[in-house]
Amino acid sequence: MRDYKNRILKCDEYSSRKTHPAVFANHLMHMINRQFSRKVLRYYRTYGLQATIRRIVAETLNWVRRSFSQAQASYYPKFDRRLLIAKIEDPEVKLIIFDIFDTLVTRPLLDPENTKRWVARCLNSERYPERRHAAEASLRTEAKHDVSLAEICAEYVRLFGNAEGEAAYLQALEESVELALALPLPNMLEMIDLAKRAGKRVVLASDMFLSEDILRQILGKCGVEGYDALYLSSRVGKRKSTGALYHHIMESEGVLWDQIVMIGDHPLSDQLIPKQLGLHVIPLESPLAVASYFPRLKGWVEKIKFGGLPTDELVLGNIVRAFFQVQADEFVLDRASLTQRGRYGIGYAIVGPLLAAFSEWLSAQASADGIDRLYFLAREGQLMKDVYDVLTTGLDTPQSEYLVLSRRAISVAMIRSREDILAIASTDYQANSLAEYLLRRFGLDLNEAVLAKLHRQEIWLPERRVEIHAGQIDEALIAVLDALADDIYDRAVMERGPMLSYLRQAGLMEGKVALVDVGYAGTIQGRLCELLERKIQGYYMVTRAASASVRARHGVRLAACFGEELAIPDESPLLRYNVPLEMLMGSDDPQISYYRCQNDQNVVGVYAPLSEDEKASIPLRRELREGAMAFARDYRAMKDAKLGELRIDPKMVVELFRDFWEGASASERAQIVSIAADDHYCGMGIVHFATFLPR
């Protein structure tokens, strides 16, 4: 990282001179191309020619896609909140009418008619939606007034028999599904409060077949309160779409057309018809309608709508609702982006679904394996655990614990041989100083005298830097480690006792336990097995091929939700973009270095200090976490709503992550670019999202 900064400073120095722009541009391109060439060469040496070619082609296609997306970027027209407030507060206005569905209340579906699909799922009847539509159409053809759900269900049984249940049962089931799916749109709920404070009479009106009783239950669930009257087409027998219900409301309320404001999303019944009658109209758009203006999100809506699993529709429907339920002047929507609402939106749409899918898989796997306790590994494990707890609280699933460990802390404590030292040393490391390497890998804080001795003996030259790729350690570094072996062993002995005490206090010696982490090679799991001399199982998001050696050596399980024992990073975007993945789940806690015993024999952790960049990232990470946790809570509410078993498709959430990262727009980049985390263990120091964002 320090070398990278020096190059940038050198480039700035160069540009500050009175140099022709073309010369400077050539110099800059030369520097970038040199970095790119080194990166490609490292990848070729590690994974071979074919994998390298595939990587270059994929990166090129992604660059073209991002360029096209940015060229198409524009801003969606802002909702005029001030006009709405002005109309509500207008002294000439006496009555405010609110539509209900997709104005005050919504359903997280990609088509409102899909409620019938969820009823069909409960009935285990694929033909129910088609037959239900036919029954309603048949009834409306004969009826001279609007129809109710009770009448529709009776017609269903008349036409198709009662094999799927009597009319009362079908009605109750459909009502329960409607109630389960209903969610509030909080921005408009605030407008009801504003209207009441302004002394206006507030009524709700809907062309809806549901009964008044079930509608009031839905409104109560969604926190819709303070309205003065409820006008339903199924009860009154008149519809907004014909204008008849508006005439009925005007007569019942004793007001004139120009004293009424109508607020709703339907282009005909909430906007065109009342405008023709002379009402003041505030047009809204449903979250799903707004989503159609955003190409990347629209593509996902169409993909899931026509070919996704039922649960995936709820996931995407909740994402659409989260993005577009807030319609305020300061809320700018970016058409080039997949996500909206800044860091909160990234957490809600990308991190939350990914961790929810992982938690579902984890609880099922661990329960089947008879695991007593799951230990979520610091620091990414903090958010993983929080999401798991939201989705499993009150259920018969393994208990969750938080384990404060790091590769540095566990690795040094278990060193007993030269092979152990070399195994720790061989993990990939970006070019950095020897002193920094020895501190971060082995806890050795070398003084100048020791370094000078290594230089005099020509074991290590002063300007030489440590750089390790594909596990290859050069002879010079091996010589240094041999020369310092006694110091390393002493350090290991000092740290081993407190580490064992911490692990015993955490309960890892009792029952059947498992480690939970983002994944890759299972290094910490293997070292825990060695240090504790017992089997510790492991559950991960994704693992590399190197994890097979841990499984074989210790006879333990290393299960992964999104891909096991992958040979090359491009087999999964979670492995390809592993550092950004971890940073999206990052914790504000500092990294544990080792444990020590105090005078009273209590074990305490010694942590690496947070840098100023990491401290500045705390409020930014908080927004990401808030979004992820909001999704987890919303999804848990769906799981508890008696809609049948819900399971998120792991493939879908991984592809969402890939689409977000590879196609990140300028505004999405701006939200995360300055978030920092430490990667001292691999020699990169403090890293930012800017380091990894695709160019």
Q: What is the pLDDT of residue 63?
A: 62
Is pLDDT above 70 for 260? yes
What whole-number percentage of the chain has pLDDT above 90? 69
Is pLDDT above 80 for 110? yes
CA neighbor of 378 nearest in space, from 401, 411, 347: 401
Three-state SS for 614?
Answer: helix
- Domain ranges, ordered by start, for the chain: 2-71, 81-284, 295-355+609-692, 365-409+494-604, 420-478
Which of 33-37, 310-314, 373-377 has the highest mean predicted lDDT (pLDDT)? 373-377
CA neighbor of 149 nearest in space, from 235, 100, 210, 205: 210
Query: Which H or E run includes 42?
Result: helix 21-47
Three-state SS for 685?
Answer: strand
For residue 306, name the pLDDT band (cuts at 50, 70, 90). confident
For residue 297, name the pLDDT band (cuts at 50, 70, 90). very high
For residue 74, name the pLDDT band (cuts at 50, 70, 90). low
Q: How many other CB atoms are there within 10 angstroms of residue 280's CB atom? A: 20
Phi, psi of 97 (to 5 degrees): -105, 125
Is pLDDT above 90 for 389? yes
Q: Domain 81-284 sits in which CATH superfamily?
A: HAD superfamily/HAD-like (3.40.50.1000)
Q: Count CA within 13 A, CB hemisphere, residue 392.
A: 24
For residue 494, name the pLDDT band (cuts at 50, 70, 90). very high
pLDDT in tens, 563-579: 999 998 889 999 999 99
pLDDT in tens, 35-53: 456 566 665 556 666 666 7
Between 471 and 590, name the one with better pLDDT: 590
Query: Which H or E run includes 691?
Result: helix 689-692
pLDDT in tens, 624-665: 999 999 999 999 999 998 888 899 999 999 999 999 999 898
For residue 59, name the pLDDT band (cuts at 50, 70, 90). low
Q: How far apart are CA 224 and CA 201, in angstroms?
A: 15
Say if residue 596 is exposed, middle or buried (CB neighbours under 10 Å; 0-12, 13-18, 19+). middle
CA neighbor of 81 nearest in space, from 225, 183, 187: 187
Is pLDDT above 50 for 88? yes
Find the mean pLDDT for residues 411-435. 93
Give whole-number Cα distances, 395 to 184, 367, 383, 429, 651, in Å.
26, 11, 19, 43, 25
For residue 4, name the pLDDT band (cuts at 50, 70, 90). very low
For residue 303, name the pLDDT band (cuts at 50, 70, 90). very high
List all residues 6 or more positions away from 433 whose beta carbon is below 8 Å from its beta carbon.
465, 466
Contact 149, 211 (CB under 8 A): yes
Find the mean pLDDT for residues 46-64. 67
Task: Look over the chain and give the mean of its residue pLDDT values, rounded to a whole number.
Answer: 88
Q: What is the pLDDT of residue 152?
A: 93
Give the torsion sign (CA, 176, 181, 182, 183). positive
Angle at 213 between CA 212 and CA 217, to 5 degrees: 115
pLDDT in tens, 322-368: 998 865 544 578 888 999 999 999 999 999 999 999 999 999 999 99
Between 210 and 14, name the one with better pLDDT: 210
Beta strands at 201-206 and 229-232: parallel, antiparallel or unpaired? parallel
Q: What is the pLDDT of residue 27?
A: 43
Is pLDDT above 90 for 83? no
Are 81-284 and 365-409+494-604 equal in CATH topology?
Answer: yes
Between 144 and 615, name the one with better pLDDT: 615
Q: How far apart are CA 571 and CA 82, in angstroms?
A: 50
Q: How many residues does the chain have?
A: 695
Question: Angle, nearest 10°, between helix axes 149-160 and 167-181?
Answer: 130
Q: What is the pLDDT of residue 419?
A: 93
Phi, psi of 372 (to 5 degrees): -85, -45
Beta strands at 466-468 and 429-432: parallel, antiparallel or unpaired? antiparallel
Say if residue 525 is exposed, middle or buried (CB neighbours under 10 Å; 0-12, 13-18, 19+). buried
Is pLDDT above 60 for 13? no
Is pLDDT above 80 for 692? yes
For residue 535, name the pLDDT band (cuts at 50, 70, 90). very high
Give domain 365-409+494-604's CATH number out of 2.60.40, 3.40.50, 2.60.260, 1.10.238. 3.40.50
Q: How far apart are CA 193 and CA 423, in angstroms?
A: 65
Q: What is the pLDDT of residue 140?
A: 83
Give whole-number Cα distances, 662 to 59, 63, 111, 568, in Å.
9, 8, 28, 18
For residue 24, name the pLDDT band (cuts at 50, 70, 90). very low
pLDDT in tens, 390-415: 999 999 999 999 999 999 999 999 99
pLDDT in tens, 176-209: 999 999 999 888 888 999 999 999 999 999 999 9
Residue that is written with structure tokens 């064992």 in the block = 500
